[in-house]
Chains A and B, each alone.
Chain A
Amino acid sequence: MSELYDFGLRPGEARLNITWNGQNGDLPDAVDYDATQQQLRGWAEEAIRAGSIPGVRADRGADLSNFVVDRFPATPAIPYARVMLRPKTPFG
Chain B
Amino acid sequence: MMEAAVVVAADGSVLHWHRPAGRSHTSLPDSRDLWEVIWEHRELIAGIAHTHPGAGWPRPSWEDVTTFSACEDGLGRRLSWWIATSDRLRHYRWSGPRKHDYAGWFPVGPTPWLGHLRVISGFNEPIWSAP
| A interface list, Cβ under 8 A from B | 19-23, 63-64, 66-68, 70, 86-92
Contact = CB atoms under 8 A, between A and B. Distances in A.
Contact of B67 (A63, A64, A87): A87
Contacts of B5: 91
Contacts of A23: 76
B35 A66 contact: no
Contact of B66 (A20, A86, A88): A88
A90 B61 CA distance: 11
B77 A90 contact: no
Given A22-B42, A22-B75, A87-B73, A92 B30 contact: no
A88 to B, nearest CB: 5
A63 B62 CA distance: 17
Interface string B4-47: 01000000000000000000001111111011001100100000
B73 A91 contact: no
Contacts of B42: 22
Nearest to A21: B76
30 contacts: A20-B73, A22-B76, A23-B76, A66-B73, A67-B70, A70-B32, A86-B35, A86-B74, A87-B35, A87-B71, A88-B30, A88-B66, A89-B28, A89-B32, A89-B34, A89-B38, A89-B67, A89-B71, A90-B29, A90-B30, A90-B31, A91-B3, A91-B27, A91-B28, A91-B50, A91-B63, A91-B64, A92-B26, A92-B27, A92-B64
